[in-house]
Chains A and B, each alone.
Chain A
C-alpha cells in the first residue's frame, strides 16, 4: 500500500510497463476495409462536387448503432418553485382517470459548471443564467486551487450547494463544499461561500434538500486497500457542517451514480446528481442497479429506486431503505426505461422515463428525423399496476450519423413541469449542440416550450447543471 508521502518516481516507469503489457495483448488486426459500405460510411462523397467542403456522411449501419442512444439518467433535485413561472397553466377541468397536478413553473435561474477564463480545460467555475432569457446573471470563479465538480439546488431557485475538487490531482481527491447564493439586483448577484463541512474523499453524488438546510452526500471508499468498497449516504447540516445521519453498505449496487460505479465527482465535467430529496425533505431517493440477478442479456438490468427515511436512525443503507419503484421486475425494463435511472418528482409519486425512438426512415443524405419519446408516469410510484404514462414525442431533425442524448434534467415537485434537453453530437469533431425545453402537463398531453440553450453549452454538451 502506498502512503501519503511515498515517492512516486517509479510510477511513470511502471505505468509505461503496464501499458506495454496491455499493448502486447494485441497481436493482430482485422482486414482493412476500404469501401464506404464496408466501413459503414455513406458513399455520399462520391457525389461531392469539386471545390465544396468535404462532409462526412454516415450510412445505415452506423446509424442503426447510433439509434441505441443513451438515455436520460439523472435523479435530480426536484423542487417547487414559485418564482419566475413561465409554464402554461394546465386546464382545471377534472380528469377522470388520473389526478392531474396543477402545473408549476420552471426555476428562474440555472447554475452550470463553466471553465474559468472561458478556456476549455481550465478549472471549472460557475455560470449563473436566467432560465427564460438565457442571459448570464453572474460568472463565479472557482475557489483557489479548486475546480467545481457538481452543483445541486434548493427549492427557492436562489440557493445551490457546490462541490469542488483540488486541481492538483484527479479523481479520488477530497471534495470541498460551498454554498452559492443568488441575490438578483444586488452586486455581486451571486456569492460563493465555503461551508463548514470537512472535505470528503470518494464523493460520488450530492443533493441539496429543498429547504436548502441539509446536504446529502454519497461516497464510495475502501476502508483498507483491497477491502470492499463501502458506500455511504451522509446527511449534513449546512448550518453546522456536522453529519446528522449516516447509512452505509458494502452492496455494490447501491447508489450507482450516473457515471460508472466507483468514479468520483470530478472525473467528468457534466455529471448529474444521483440522489434526490423527496417527500418534503423527509427522505432521500437513490438508484440501485444490478445485473447479477438477471441473465446476461443486453438491456435487461434490475433497476430500483429506493428511499431512506432521512429522519430515522443511522444504519444499513439497504436494510433501512425501501423500494419505491421497481422498474425491472414488474415491467420490461428495456421497453420501459431501458437501463437508465428515472427522474423522480419531489412528491415521490411520479417518475419519468425516456424511451429511445427509432429513426423514422425519412432520411436524406444529410438529415435524419428522430422521434424522442418521453414517458412520464403520473401516478403512485409504489403501485405499479396503476402506473399511467403520458407520453410526449418530439421529432427532431439531426445530421445523419449523429448521436442524440436526450434527458429530463429537472422536474417540479408535482411532476407537472419538466425541463428536458437533448444533445446532438454530429459525426466527426465539433458541431455539438444542445437544445432545452419546458414540458408542461395539461389534461392528458404535454405542451412544449423551447428554452434558450446558451452557447457555452455547445462545447461539449450540457454541462453539470442545476436549477
Chain B
C-alpha cells in the first residue's frame, strides 16, 4: 500500500492510514453491515431460516417474531405488537435506526391493509404510471391482453436504437417481478430480443404498455378467508417456440389466495412428446416447491394458533397429453 501519486506526505512518505471502519464506496461495506446485523440478530436468539440468508425467525413463549433484511431495510413481523417494540428497542441500542412504523410502501411495493376485512393488497400502481409516462404512453388506449395469441417473433437483422426497447423491457420486468404474474410470459418472450429487435418487437412492447395502462390498479390481494396452504400450478406448452421447437413453462405458487411465486421459462432442451415437456415443467416446479415449503413449514410446525397450514404441497400439472 502506497500513498497516491501527487499526494505523498513529505514528512512521512512511507506511512499510510489503516482503515478500521467501513466507508461508503468500499467493496466490503455492505457485507460488513450484514455480518454485523447477523451477529446482532443471532445474539438476540434469532435463527436463520435455510432457503433465504436474509430471513430470521424467533419463537418465544408462543410468540413469533420474523425479521427480514433487505440490505439496510428491516421488515419486522410479530404476532403481538409488544414484541415488535422490544426488538426495535434492542435495535436502537445497537444501531442508529429510523422507525417507519407500519409498512405502507416497501421496495416500491405499495401495501394496503384492511384489518377489519382481513385483506392485504400489494400493487405497483404508482410505478406503472411512471413507466407509461416515461415511454409516452400515458394517454394510450388500453387493451385486454398483453400479447397477441400465438405471436411468433424472430431476431431482427439489425436493432434500431431510436426507440427505447431495452428500457421498456427492463421497466416492465420490474413490474412483473414485483406484483404482476400476468406479464411474465410477455416479458419473458420480449426480453429474448433485447439485442436484436425490430419493428414487430416494438409493436409488441407497445401492446404490453397498453395492457398495463388498462390494468394499472391490479395487484395481489390476500383474503384471510382463503385457505392458507401453499399450492403450485404448472403448465408447459409444447414446442411453443417455432424456431427452436422448445417448450415454454409457466408456473405459479398460490398462498392464501394470492400468487407468491411465478415465472415463465423457455425450456433448455427440446421435448419430444408433450408428456416429456410436462415432466420437465414438473421437475422445475418441485425445486421451487421445496424451497418455498421450508419457510411455510418452519412457521406452521410451531403449533401456533395461526391460519397457516403446513404439510405436502399439491402441484397441479396438466398431463392429459
Q: Do A and B come from one complex?
A: no
Q: What is the interface of chain B, defined by CB distance below 8 A to chain A?
A: none
